Structure 1
Amino acid sequence: MKYFFNRIFIWLKDLRSKIAFYPSLFAIFGFFFALFIIYLEDLGASKYLLDAAPILVVDNGNTALSILTACITGLISMMVFSFSMVMVLLNQSASNYSPRLLPGLISDKNHQIILGIYLATIIYCIFVSQSIQPEGNSYQVPGFSVLIGILFTVLCLSAFIYFIHNISQSIQIDNILDRIYNQARKRLNFLLESEKELFTIFPETEDWTQYYSEKSGYFQDLSSDNIAGICDESATRIEIIPIKGSFIPRGTPMFKSEKKLDEDAVNKILSNFSLGRGELVTQNYVLAFKQITEVIVKAMSPGINDPGTALNALDYLTELLALRMRKRDDSYFLDEEGKNVLIKIRSVSFGELCYQVFAPIRAYCKHDIIILQKVGLMFIFLKKQKTADEAYLKVIDAEAQNFLEDGKANIKNKTDLHTIRNIAEELNIKI
């Protein structure tokens, strides 16, 4: 039962990133709320409101139907316009910054909730309008229901004003970078907190039994708690082979086990791997480095030529690299008592991460002295930071040397070359 609920949790977490998630929830709420209000009408809600505050009640069926019809048509137009604005935002972000930013923008809760409010109100007004009957001596116009529909429409107008404000902010690259940075920082801080002072020696796993993936997709996340429980039941230890964020074809080795496992245990472990068709920064901090790197590269491309954006992105990249230097390359997960290491989780090494980040930046920015100077200051700053492994400093030195050597080869101005030599001296690097 525990594993079933965990799978439901993982499924819901993936579902939340879809643009239709919150609108669907609000639509269902609008339908059931309309039924609830119609039920209150049968109990005499409109009659009570007519006696208490007659000015708030519409007591003419044609007028009530006209009001609801105007609300429905107006809200449909607003929803179409709002959805079009979201599409414009996604298109501009993909063309000007990076297509990899789209999953994060689509999963923006604010846009989804606003579209959901529109949809819930439209569905509510449609069902309430269906309850309005031709006037008769014994018929009571559902004035209370109409009043609620008018209030919901006013709420939609307020949400539309907020949407215009939010969409104008979301399209700005500074806010996009800030969102990516905050998501990656939270993820890295969570991983650092889970590591704490843990230091362990995990045995060699060359002779362990491998088990393979039964489906393909991006390795998004896994439930360490459930897998640790299975390891405890089976009296074994496992190593997670793929790196989070990598694409897993069918038949790829997924984990190694110290002891051979039965089919039921293997299926339980594999069910706790979340494979999808997309990536999110909240689940994989490495994606933040890729996104920021692509923003820098796109900004420095001849078609965009926006060094200001590249400089801003380098500031965020510096902060994230300094935070990553405090984390070890491999992560471990303990049992409930916190004594025995049950799971070893591989991650992108700091050296590989730096190479993936700086290689494309070096290719596109080696001719720009301002970017070179900024990156040089980044290396100087990183060498002064607290690090989980002294080998990280050698990685910084190697990347700095590659960057400065490429800059020296592509820049001919004497003043610019002098700036590069000064940075090399500060880093104690020979070029």
Structure 2
Amino acid sequence: MVTSFSITRVFAFWDRLNSSFWFVPALMVVVAVALSFLLIEVDTLRDVGRTDDANAFYTFGPEGARSILSVIATSMITVASLIFSITMLSLQLASLQFGPRVLDNFMRDRSNQIVLGTFIATFLYCLFVLRSVRGMEGASFVPHLAVGFGVVLAAASVAVLIYFIHHIATSIRIETLLAKLAREGCAAVDCLFDERPEQGAGYQMPDGFDASELWGHTT
């Protein structure tokens, strides 16, 4: 009994954690930071970071790498703060018309969590790669592979931004909210009726009950 109760509490905690607004972005941030260290280490092992290497697939120096990473990091955190501030204002106005469920749907929406995680992960990735760029004489190092992947993340963030604008404009429409409520209601009804036959199959008559008495009363 204690074991089943503990397992139930663990599953309930995992469900609350998985549906929270910060869980998925936190996982994406951890992956981005780990990836930055991994790519820097790969650049170090391959010796791609030397600025005088003619075979390097990127030819920018330390100052160019710093400029690119600084621009990406600054733009990511600026866009994230601006977009989500405007979005929260729009959702607040929509919740006054359609009810507070709009805000709850926004917080639990996996797409919104991924969008926020993309911006923050790209920002922190660029910061951690930026700290590894060295431009001193005799000790210059530019992680070209890591910087190039930062550019790829920036391009992906632009695509995610376009998707987010479309997604949030669609999610606050009344027909979308009604369709989501209908799906949640149908899922709740299906779950309820799936449990009823099991409860009925496991039901036992109380001790001392005589079924003939029931037939006698009904005939």
The unaligned stretches of length 5 or more in structure 1 are 205-431
**What is the deviation of 1:130?**
0.4
For 1:140, the equivalent position in structure 2 comes to: 141
Call closer, same or farther: CA 1:190–1:126 in 2, change over 3 Å. Answer: same
- Secondary structure (helix, strand or coil) at the match of 2:192 reads helix
1:20 counterpart residue number: 22
- When normalised by structure 1's length, the TM-score is 0.43
Q: Which has the higher contact order (CA 8 A, sep 6+)?
A: 2
Distance 2:46 2:56 in 1: 14
1:30 matches 2:14: no
Q: What does residue range 245-394 of structure 1 map to in structure 2 within 5 Å? A: none
In the TM superposition, 1:16-415 aligns within 5 A as 16-44=18-46, 46=48, 54=57, 57-196=58-197, 199=200
Q: Which has the higher helix share?
A: 2
What is the distance in 2 between the residues matched to 1:68 and 1:8?
A: 41
Please state how far the C-alpha of 1:173 moved relative to its aligned partner.
0.9
Alpha-carbon distance in structure 2 between the residues aligned to 1:46 and 1:4: 52
- Cα shift readout 1:35-76 (whole Å, capped 9, x = no counterpart): 22222122126369x77672xx14300000000000011111
Amino acid of the structure 2 residue aligned with 1:29: V
Contact 1:45 1:144 in 2 (8 A): no
How high is the sequence identity, in percent, across the aligned residues? 25
Determine the C-alpha separation between the residues in 2 that align with 1:135 and 1:113: 38
Shift in Å, 1:85: 3.3
Q: Aligned letter for 2:16? A: D
Query: How far, CA to CA, are the matches of 1:103 and 1:23 in structure 2?
Result: 17
Matches of 1:92 and 1:100 in 2, distance apart?
12
Would you say the 8 A contact 2:22–2:113 is kept in 1? Answer: yes
| Deviation for aligned residue 1:165 | 0.4
CA RMSD of aligned residues (A): 2.6
Change (3 A) 1:71 1:21: same
Query: Deviation at 1:5?
Result: 4.7
Q: Evaluate the alpha carbon distance shift between residue 47 and residue 132 of structure 1 in structure 2; reply closer, same or farther with a 3 A threshold.
A: closer
Contact 1:58 1:64 (8 Å CA) reproduced = no
Task: State the 1:147 CA deviation.
Answer: 0.1
Q: CA deviation at 1:197?
A: 7.2
How does the TM-score come out when normalised to structure 2? 0.81
Q: Size of the alignment, in residue pairs?
A: 201
For 1:166 and 1:174, the matched residues in 2 are separated by: 14
How far apart in 1 are the matches of 2:157 and 2:78?
12
Letter of the 2:22 counterpart: A
- Post-superposition shift, 1:121? 0.6
- In the superposition, relative to structure 1, how do residues 63 and 79 fare at CA in structure 2: closer, same or farther (>3 Å)? same
- Verify the 8 A CA contact 2:48 2:56 in the aligned structure 1: no
CA separation of 1:52/1:172 partners in 2, compared to 1, >3 Å: closer, same or farther?
farther
Q: Which residue of 2 aligns with 1:247?
A: none
Contact 2:76 2:123 in 1 (8 A): yes
Structure 1 position 105, deviation (Å): 2.4
Once the two structures are superposed, what CA deviation does each residue of 1:363-414 show, in whole Å capped at 9, x if it has no partner? xxxxxxxxxxxxxxxxxxxxxxxxxxxxxxxxxxxxxxxxxxxxxxxxxxxx
Displacement of 1:194 in angstroms is: 3.3
Aligned counterpart, 1:388: none
Distance change in 2, residues 1:202/1:137 (3 Å): same
CA contact (8 A) 1:58 1:141 kept: no
- The answer as to whether partners of 1:65 and 1:132 remain within 8 angstroms in 2 is yes
1:45–1:79 distance in 2 versus 1, CA, 3 Å? farther
The 3-state SS of whatever aligns with 2:200 is: coil
Amino acid at match of 1:41: D
The structure where strand makes up a greater share of residues is 1
- How big is the shift at 1:78? 1.2
* Pair 1:35–1:105, CA change in 2 (3 A): same
